Structure 1
Amino acid sequence: MNDLNAEAEAILRRNDRGGYTVPTEGLYPYQWNWDSAFAAMGFAQFDVPRAWEELHTLFSGQWDDGMVPHILFHRPDPGYFPGPDVWGGRGPVASSGITQPPIAATMARLVWEKDLAAGKVAMANLFPKLKRWHAWFMDWRLDRDAVCITHPWEAGRDNAPDWDGAMAGIDPAGVGEYQRRDTSHVDSAMRPTKYDYDRYVWLVQQGRRLEWDQAKLLEENPFRVADPTMTFTLLRANRDLAAMGRELGEDLGEIEEWIARLEAGAETLWNPTLESYDARDARSGAWAGCVSNASFLCWYAGLDGMSAQLDRILNLTPYGIPSHDPSSPKFDGKRYWRGPIWGVMNMLIGLGLEDVNHPQAGRVRQTTHDLITEHGFAEYFDPRDGSPAGGMSFTWTAAVWLGWANRGAG
């Protein structure tokens, strides 16, 4: 285990670009939002000041309206598509025009807990920026008080079956030719299809045309899906923001109102037919009909209701919670978010289970420990046999090992 600790630390150091961390060499050459928050948690296990630097660099790209982009293009890398010239972001750092799951407050709390006295100034500086980002979600992304995405990339679960219905309603005519970066680094069978990517690019082009004006996007964007990932991570992030604000002596009234609204909104994602939390198309009202790993973030958000489904899914795979139900005809064990296991999602689910002393909490942590021990620090893994997939020497998998998977496991 000591060797794995050293290897994980070396991966974070190797992917460090000076103040921010790339997910992995080559495939992802920039700072990604939720990857970076996980990286901060990982750095905190051996270098707390570097952890705070990671978070502050992430928020250096915050837009005037409070949004924190999903990619910050700190250094040119002309081979990457879509790059800053395609996105046309309008923040202080060249960026994309969309966001990602708001886990930064939760990871900041974990960093602060490593050294409360030393981290108080850093947290006091970060707190108002976190609150502005959360306020942006509350202002622009709610449907029946559940949090919506306006692009599949925002959920972090790019090609999940959850979006198939809404994606089918997009005609990507006129997208034009483009050259993907991902399939030159990774087997295309492990990545989203061209059908998906045409629609991803169409949505980027639409956002650029509308200058990322949220009011116009609310009116015109055909893709608006109420998402368990966003709803549950923002609910948990607000709980953690309130806990940190209490220590800092902040007024918590607005944050407590947000928590109450999101608790109500989460219940609008309960699909009684599926007996699961599910994505809901905010335009059509249609359910996605998907039991995903995001469904099991309910405990992370402080909610319950998925124990029977959890037992069922854990008995179908040996390594935790796959990104899509293995019994579904849409399951694909190697294609990105249509089936593979992700260590970061296992961690978030596991943290929630641990919060309530759920009987499956230890199993989720132990299986993640075994997965990394046996198959390394891959981006994601085939849930059937654990075979590594996607990028290798991956920052967030190393961070999950250091900060969670190696603690209390056999």
Structure 2
Amino acid sequence: MLTQVSRSEEARNILIQNDRGGYTIPTAGLYPYQWNWDSAITAMGFAEFDIGRAWQELETLFSGQWADGMVPHILFHKADAGYFPGPDVWGGTGPIPSSGITQPPVAATMARLIWNKDRSAGTPRLKTLWPKLRAWHTWFLKWRLDQGAVCVTHPWEAGRDNAPDWDGVMERIDPVGVGEYERRDTSHVDGSMRPTKHDYDRYIWLVQMGNRLKWDQAKLLEENPFRIADPTMTFLLLRAHRDLLAVGEELGLQTAGMAEEIALLEKGAATLWNPELKSYDSRDAKTGLWTGCISNASYLCWLAGLDSPDQAAHLERSLERVKFGVASYDPTGEKFDSKRYWRGPTWAFMNFLIGLGLEEQQHPLAPRLRAVTREVIRQHGFAEYFDPTDGSPAGGQSFTWTAAVWLGWASKDLGAA
């Protein structure tokens, strides 16, 4: 087992090795492009040893921002035949070949953390970035709200690709006309750890629909059967908007209307409380039905500034049941699968986001969550995700945002963060 110092050296090397010149890839082979929320977390890791490179990561991400303000979930900077679906399948309309959907907006939160590390170096760059962040958040507020909660329009948009939250809607989609295609993810990772073909057919059907509609948001609002109010998006946009407002006020920027937008998002977050589960849950915006899922996204409430004793009780039970929490899906649930992507495994970056919220609210569970995340990485390395029952690594290896989480959070003492 490597020492903590050795793990830190390895983590820095992973960020450097996965650097492709202004942006990082999540890991070689499996994910050969720039991913949206991966890059934002990665920037936080770079800030531990190269503050200029941290800002460059965010700046490169926003170089692909669309005219309407949307920031894509993938930027295809260079062609790579090892990934499907590529830019030809997506038909993105931005300045850089891209996907047609977005991802959870953690960039403003990470930008504020980086800025606070070195304000003299960061202020000019953050002033340039701020209106781009504002435009992205405004795009969410215009196109993605349902009763104030933020919706996803594709499982990949949530970042929690095959979470049980989406099963009901996915069953209602008939992926007619998808045709033959060759998945590339299962050539890099054991198929038992990845989404099934049943899921993938529907992922591709949704992509083809978006391409056909040229990613026109008004048309997608009418035609897309997949529209789910999601805790991931809602809590992370609420937190990011708080950060953007705070930074804007300190820098003397135009923040008119942002306090009211935060209040709207707070009301939206309240609509995601499932009283039967006594937990935050996803809600089908088309039918109004709950998905009935307690996920790691449910625990992002503290990061959004929302406390919940009932949610804390769920988290404590989850941490008691699995050695290396937080499980991405309730370990007592019938769909729990400890190794299949978002149906059970623990993710270091989600633990970081949950832990950051707990720490800011001085919650008694905060030290425990940082400790288990530190231990799983110390014992098992920088995997994409881990089996929460025994810590065994799963998915891609030498993973950039896991290394970033180690550098910026997991390896540190709570009081030193």
- TM band (smaller chain): over 0.9
Match of 1:191? 194
TM score, norm. by length of structure 1 = 0.99
Match of 1:147? 150
Q: Distance in 2 between matches of 1:293 and 1:302?
A: 16
Match of 1:16? 19
Q: 1:284 aligns with which of 279, 287, 290?
A: 287
- Opposite residue 386 of structure 1, the aligned amino acid is G
Q: Once the 2 structures are TM-superposed, how far is the Cα of residue 409 of structure 1 from its aligned partner?
A: 6.2
Q: Distance in 2 between matches of 1:409 and 1:243?
A: 24
Match of 2:205? 202
Question: Contact 1:235–1:259 (CA<8 Å) still a contact in 2?
Answer: yes
- Opposite residue 347 of structure 1, the aligned amino acid is F
Deviations 1:127-165 (A, max 9, x none): 000000000000000001100000000000000000001
- Opposite residue 7 of structure 1, the aligned amino acid is E
Match of 1:213? 216
Match of 1:120? 123
Match of 1:357? 362
Deviations 1:218-247 (A, max 9, x none): 000000000000000000000110111012
Q: Distance in 2 between matches of 1:10 and 1:205?
A: 38
Identity of aligned residues (%): 69
Q: How does 1:369-408 map to 2 (within 5 A)?
A: 369-408=374-413
Question: Contact 1:366–1:409 (CA<8 Å) still a contact in 2?
Answer: no
Q: 2:246 aligns with which of 243, 246, 251?
A: 243
- Opposite residue 103 of structure 1, the aligned amino acid is V
Match of 1:134? 137
Match of 1:99? 102
Instruction: For residue 93 of structure 1, give the secondary structure of its aligned residue in structure 2.
Output: coil
Q: 1:39 aligns with which of 30, 42, 50?
A: 42
Match of 1:157? 160
Q: Distance in 1 between matches of 2:180 and 2:258?
A: 45
CA RMSD of aligned residues (A): 0.9
Match of 1:267? 270
Q: 1:339 aligns with which of 338, 341, 344?
A: 344
Q: Distance in 1 between matches of 2:302 and 2:359?
A: 9
Match of 1:315? 320
Matching of residue 327 in structure 1 with residue 335 in structure 2: no
Q: Once the 2 structures are TM-superposed, how far is the Cα of residue 253 of structure 1 from its aligned partner?
A: 2.6
- Opposite residue 379 of structure 2, the aligned amino acid is E
Q: Once the 2 structures are TM-superposed, how far is the Cα of residue 331 of structure 1 from its aligned partner?
A: 0.3
Q: Distance in 1 between matches of 2:264 and 2:183?
A: 39
Match of 2:231? 228
Q: Distance in 2 between matches of 1:82 and 1:370?
A: 35
Q: How does 1:44-63 map to 2 (within 5 A)?
A: 44-63=47-66
Q: 1:299 aligns with which of 282, 298, 302?
A: 302
Deviations 1:271-305 (A, max 9, x none): 00000000000001110100000000000000011
Q: Once the 2 structures are TM-superposed, how far is the Cα of residue 114 of structure 1 from its aligned partner?
A: 1.2
Q: Distance in 2 between matches of 1:164 and 1:283?
A: 14
Q: Once the 2 structures are TM-superposed, how far is the Cα of residue 69 of structure 1 from its aligned partner?
A: 0.0
Deviations 1:99-152 (A, max 9, x none): 000000001111111101111000000000000000000000000110000000
Deviations 1:139-197 (A, max 9, x none): 00000110000000000000000000111110001100011111000000000000000
Match of 1:2? 5
Q: Distance in 1 between matches of 2:257 and 2:16?
A: 38
Q: Once the 2 structures are TM-superposed, how far is the Cα of residue 320 of structure 1 from its aligned partner?
A: 2.2
Question: Contact 1:31–1:58 (CA<8 Å) still a contact in 2?
Answer: yes
Q: Distance in 2 between matches of 1:126 and 1:195?
A: 40
- Opposite residue 184 of structure 1, the aligned amino acid is S
Match of 1:76? 79
Q: 2:171 aligns with which of 168, 173, 177?
A: 168
Q: Once the 2 structures are TM-superposed, how far is the Cα of residue 312 of structure 1 from its aligned partner?
A: 1.1
Q: Once the 2 structures are TM-superposed, how far is the Cα of residue 60 of structure 1 from its aligned partner?
A: 0.1
Match of 1:256? 259
- Opposite residue 383 of structure 1, the aligned amino acid is P
Q: Distance in 2 between matches of 1:180 and 1:90?
A: 24
Q: Once the 2 structures are TM-superposed, how far is the Cα of residue 28 of structure 1 from its aligned partner?
A: 0.3
**Where does the alignment leave 5 or more consecutive residues of structure 1 unmatched?**
none
Question: Contact 2:29–2:82 (CA<8 Å) still a contact in 1?
Answer: no
**Where does the alignment leave 5 or more consecutive residues of structure 2 unmatched?**
none
Q: Once the 2 structures are TM-superposed, how far is the Cα of residue 78 of structure 1 from its aligned partner?
A: 2.0
Q: Distance in 1 between matches of 2:339 and 2:387?
A: 5
Q: Distance in 1 between matches of 2:191 and 2:9?
A: 31
TM score, norm. by length of structure 2 = 0.97
Question: Contact 1:369–1:409 (CA<8 Å) still a contact in 2?
Answer: no
Q: Distance in 1 between matches of 2:258 and 2:405?
A: 28
